Amino acid sequence: MTRDPAPLSTAPHAADLAQADDMPLLRLVDVRKYFPGRRAFLRSDAAAVKAVDGVSLSVRRGETLGLVGESGCGKSTLGRCILHLAPPTGGQVLFDGQDLATLSAQEMRQRRREMQIVFQDPYSALNPRKTVGSILTEAYRIHGLYTPSERMDKARALLDMVGLRTEHIHRYPHEFSGGQRQRICIARAIALDPKLIVADEAVSALDVSVQAQVLNLMVTLQKRLGLTYVFISHDLRVVRHISDRVGVMYLGRLVELSDTASLYRRPLHPYSEALLSALPRLGPRTGGKRIVLKGDMPSPVNPPSGCAFHPRCPQRRDRCAIEAPDLREHAPGRLAACHYPLLDVPASGEDAAQEGAARSNASKDNNIFQRTGSVP
Amino acid sequence: MSEDVLSVRNLHTHFRTEDGVVKSVRGVDLDIGPGEVVGLVGESGSGKSVTAHSIMRLIPSSGSIVQGEILFEGEDLARASVRQMQKVRGNRIAMIFQEPMTSLNPVLRIGDQVSDVLRLHRGLSKAQALSEAKDLLGRVGIPDPKARLANFPHELSGGQRQRVMIATALACRPKLIIADEPTTALDVTIQAQILDLLIDLKRDFGCSVLLITHDLGVISETADRVAVMYAGQIAEVAEVATLFDEPLHPYTLGLMRSVPKLDEDLPEDRLLPVIGGGVPNLAELPAGCAFQTRCPHVRARCRAEEPPLREVRTAHKVRCWLYDA
């Protein structure tokens, strides 16, 4: 993946310059989003829902960061926090080194051009009473860019770029299939030439064959336009395919953050391991039994003590119920929030400790023991 | 195959719409043996759910079964009366739907919903039925089943609600369970629990299962045999291992290739092999093979003649001219 060396349009804060020579496009520092609890009669002490509870991470220019987790883990809320669609109740979102919370409404509107979102449901994301041309030129109208005829030319170019026919510009959303509608949503997202796109379950509602088409489109556009993606999904297969790095969320927290290959080969956090093992395989299961977690995800209103995962964790020990683990680096570029990461367990075959240079070789060796594929 | 629990023969189900007659199911043949789990896989609009609803005779009034037989325990359900169907549904054939929140009655307690089936079909008294409902809830892995009897559906999680649906389905010891996307609305870790439960129960209760899903992974982990549907027809049917090792139909192959793999090296360009185009309009299908517009192997014959579903290997049928010896 080519790193986009685009010059910064805004001067970064001095503190951030000192932090890194290669400043990430997006940096989250201890981001929190609490929703106030429902107040009942004579009860004002309702507990807050801690949808996102202290997430810190960076997204490099041109990379795709996957965010996975089950419903209620806070991944979508985090996506909205990144764009300040739901301003965080704590922590900072630094976009190009600039804290979004410090921007005026006017400045924020300018910033919004550089960050876009694509939602899961292309049916509800498009106004049914507007033509595709009107939908795609809306952003230009709002920002007062180009003349009306230039806008339509731009819209045609966008349709072409996402693989739709330019003569369909006067059609309405209902005249398109689900996959085509998602292409329209993507076209709208890239209209203002953004730097960052948050894709929130962008391919989850699509059929397998259409999903593959839209994923390919996203990969192609990323290369062509130097986009950075935050790709939020519950689908671990899709996330592996598209992401350079992956963050695993559980109950509002990041429990693991790692490069994609290492995470899928040898997860550090027991929750990541269970999640991966629960995924149905195509073809007969080889190597490794399926870990079936007991119980449901606890409520974010009243999370368990210590490590939030401990009641369901097959590896839990006494300490886990008392002390919440921090997200720490256990191997180069591999972070996990666990007192007893799976790194410490002697692994069969390649040990996860031998990371780094041996990575690509190890991954090949490892594959010999796994199924090499379900398709001839 | 007289010992089959269910035998669907040449089923055609059509719907009348503004755009004309939509032929959702176009000649489906399907056999399910005793204790067998048959997977029916396909994308939206392939006709898999309409097939299931036809078997249960639950198709909306704009649609009808225009041809074919649905033989179940010596009875043709395609021609059964409403009264006869009431004795079959929920009793000898039970159905589990995708969204347990919409298929459970939100204003009835869990205990009443599960025990209603027992009172209706087995004539148990209220107390007997509640006691058996409690046992059933325990059997499907609901913790503290006695307390749950008094709960309303919204008080349970999605996974627990699906367990209640399964308990209701099992209440009358059906011969056949039709599970329509039973885990699609659930998270993966909960999906794993529910799939394990379904397999356990199938073994203990000895019923057959028709499992409808769009997820090839779910099929691969639970089904004995798989039928792949495309545009209202069965494109390919085989034992599960055979189908995944050696898919024959170009559609099956394309479908499997377009699913990102977990244990293969990623392609350098990160592009997935895709099936081009989209599903054809079922109201105006072309002559010949329904897959012709998307098929990489299309020939003149495919545009002229519709291929039949033929057995080209032992217990492996495919609807494609490529295998016409």
Q: Residue A19 above 70 pLDDT? A: no
**B309 with B195, same domain?**
yes
Mean per-residue pLDDT over chain A, rounded: 84
List Cα–Cα distances, A359 to A352, A355, B76, B259, in angstroms. 9, 6, 60, 24
Angle at which helices A178-190 and A148-161 cross, to 10°: 130
Distance CA B182, CA B96 (A): 6
Q: Classify residue B276: in a domain, yes or no.
A: yes
Q: Classify residue B73: in a domain, yes or no.
A: yes
> What residues have CB less than 8 Å from A215, skipping those under 6 apart?
A203, A238, A241, A242, B260, B272
Question: Nearest CA to CA, how far is A155 from chain B (Å)?
Answer: 22
Cβ B157–A296 below 8 Å, yes or no? Answer: yes
Q: Check CB contact of B245 with chain A, cutoff 8 Å.
A: yes
Q: Residue B30 above 70 pLDDT? A: yes
Last residue of some domain: B136, B171, B206? B171
ipTM of the complex: 0.86
> Which residue pairs from B128-133 have beta carbons closer than 8 angstroms and sit at least 24 positions apart in sequence?
B132/B171, B133/B167, B133/B171
Helix, strand or coil, per DSSP, at residue B146: helix
DSSP helix, strand, coil percent of chain A (3-state; round to 5): 35, 20, 45
**B34 with B144, same domain?**
no
Distance CA B115, CA B132 (A): 8
- Tell me the pairing of strands B20-32 and A245-250: unpaired
Chosen from B46, B188, B228, B271 to mutate, greatest number of chain A CBs within 10 A: B188
| pLDDT, position A286 | 59
Mean per-residue pLDDT over chain B, rounded: 91
Question: Nearest CA to CA, how far is B314 from chain A (Å)?
Answer: 19
Q: Residue A374 above 60 pLDDT? A: no
**Number of domains observed in the structure of chain B:** 2
**B185 with B251, same domain?**
yes
Q: How does A184-196 read in b/e, with b if 16+ C-beta sit within 10 Å?
A: bbbbbbbbbebbb
CATH assignment of the domain containing B249: 3.40.50.300
DSSP string, B95-107: EE-S-HHHHS-TT
Vertex A260: Cα angle to A255 and A264 (nearest 5):
75
A60-64, A319-323, B261-265: the lowest-pLDDT one:
B261-265
**B205 with B154, same domain?**
no
Q: Residue A303 above 90 pLDDT? A: no
Q: Classify residue B1: in a domain, yes or no.
A: no
A249-263, A323-337, A342-356, B45-59: the lowest-pLDDT one:
A342-356
Q: Classify residue B287: in a domain, yes or no.
A: yes
Helix, strand or coil, per DSSP, at residue A53: strand
**B153 with B105, same domain?**
yes
Question: Nearest CA to CA, how far is B141 from chain A (Å)?
Answer: 10
Residue B279 pLDDT level (bands cut at 50, 70, 90): confident
Q: Classify residue B136: in a domain, yes or no.
A: yes
Helix, strand or coil, per DSSP, at residue A296: coil
| Mean pLDDT, range B121-147, rounded to an integer | 91
- What homologous superfamily does CATH list for A14-36+48-243? P-loop containing nucleotide triphosphate hydrolases (3.40.50.300)
**B176 with B207, same domain?**
yes
DSSP string, A122-176: HHHHS-TTS-HHHHHHHHHHHTT-S-HHHHHHHHHHHHHHTT--GGGGG--GGGS
| pLDDT, position A287 | 55
A69 near A249, Cβ under 8 Å? Answer: yes
pLDDT digits (tens, 9 = 90+) for A135-187: 999 999 999 999 999 999 999 999 999 999 999 999 999 999 889 999 999 99
Question: Nearest CA to CA, how far is A93 from chain B (Å)?
Answer: 29
Cβ B272–A285 below 8 Å, yes or no? Answer: no
Residue A53 pLDDT level (bands cut at 50, 70, 90): very high
A88-92, B17-21, B37-41: the lowest-pLDDT one:
B17-21
**B191 with B294, same domain?**
yes
**B166 with B181, same domain?**
no
Q: In the block, which residue shows the tokens 């062509």?
A: A224
Q: Residue A368 above 50 pLDDT? A: no
| Mean pLDDT, range A231-241, rounded to an integer | 94
Question: Nearest CA to CA, how far is B48 from chain A (Å)?
Answer: 14
A207-216, A330-339, B263-272: the lowest-pLDDT one:
B263-272
| pLDDT, position B31 | 95
Q: Residue A334 above 80 pLDDT? A: yes
- In chain B, which among 95-154 make CB contacts under 8 A with chain A? none
**B68 with B154, same domain?**
no
**B159 with B193, same domain?**
no
| pLDDT, position B277 | 81
Domain region containing B165? 100-171
Of A207, A281, A282, which has the smallest distance from its Cβ to B214's Cβ? A207
Among A140, A177, A178, A175, smallest CA distance to A157 is for A140
Residue A349 pLDDT level (bands cut at 50, 70, 90): very low
Q: Residue A363 above 60 pLDDT? A: no
Q: Range(s) for CATH 3.40.50.300 in chain A?
A: 14-36+48-243
Distance CA A4, CA A27 (A): 17
**B139 with B211, same domain?**
no
| Mean pLDDT, range A40-53, rounded to an integer | 74
Residues of chain A contacting B43 with CB distance shorter than 8 Å:
207-210
Chosen from B261, B268, B294 to mutate, greatest number of chain A CBs within 10 A: B261
Cβ A281–B262 below 8 Å, yes or no? Answer: yes
Of A207, A241, A279, which has the smallest distance from its Cβ to B188's Cβ? A279
Helix, strand or coil, per DSSP, at residue A115: strand
Q: Check CB contact of B265 with chain A, cutoff 8 Å.
A: yes
| pLDDT, position B82 | 93
| pLDDT, position A372 | 34
**B43 with B104, same domain?**
no
Q: Residue A354 above 50 pLDDT? A: no
Of A70, A212, A296, which has the smallest distance from its Cβ to B188's Cβ? A70
A46-55, A355-364, B117-126: the lowest-pLDDT one:
A355-364
pLDDT digits (tens, 9 = 90+) for A277-297: 988 888 766 556 778 888 888
A-B contacts at Cβ under 8 angstroms: 138
Distance CA B23, CA B276 (A): 23
Among A369, A364, A309, smallest CA distance to A338 is for A309
Residue B50 pLDDT level (bands cut at 50, 70, 90): very high
Residue A44 pLDDT level (bands cut at 50, 70, 90): low
pLDDT digits (tens, 9 = 90+) for B281-307: 888 888 999 999 999 999 999 999 999
